[in-house]
Amino acid sequence: MCLSIPAKVVDIKGNMADVSVGGTIFKAGLQMVENVKIGDYILLHTGFAIQKISEDEALETLKLLNEIEDAMNK
C-alpha cells in the first residue's frame, strides 16, 4: 500500500519544489507532473510529486487525516 499526502507548492527551482505540509517544508521532485506552479497542490510520495490535485481535494484530505490523528490520540 502506498501513501501520498497533499502538499502546497511554495517555491520552485528547476525540477525541484519546496512544498508545505502542515507548515513543515519538504523537497519534492517535479519530474512526473507537468505545469506545476507555486500555489498548486500536489500529492507527495517518497519525495516526488505524483499528481496535481485541487485545493478543495487537498484540504478535505488533510482534514480527514487530522481527524484520524485526533481519534488515535484519545
| Per-residue pLDDT at 74 | 84
Beta strands in the chain (DSSP E): 5-13, 16-21, 24-29, 41-45, 48-53
| Per-residue pLDDT at 3 | 87
| Residue 59: its H or E element | helix 55-72
Q: Summarize pLDDT for 23-62 with one digit per residue, the tens.
A: 999 999 999 999 999 999 999 999 999 999 999 999 999 9
Domain span holding position 29:
5-72
CATH number at residue 12: 2.30.30.140
**C-alpha grid cell for residue 5?**
499526502
Does pTM top 0.75 for this prediction?
yes
| Per-residue pLDDT at 1 | 65
| Per-residue pLDDT at 30 | 98
| Per-residue pLDDT at 19 | 98
What is the count of structural domains for the chain? 1
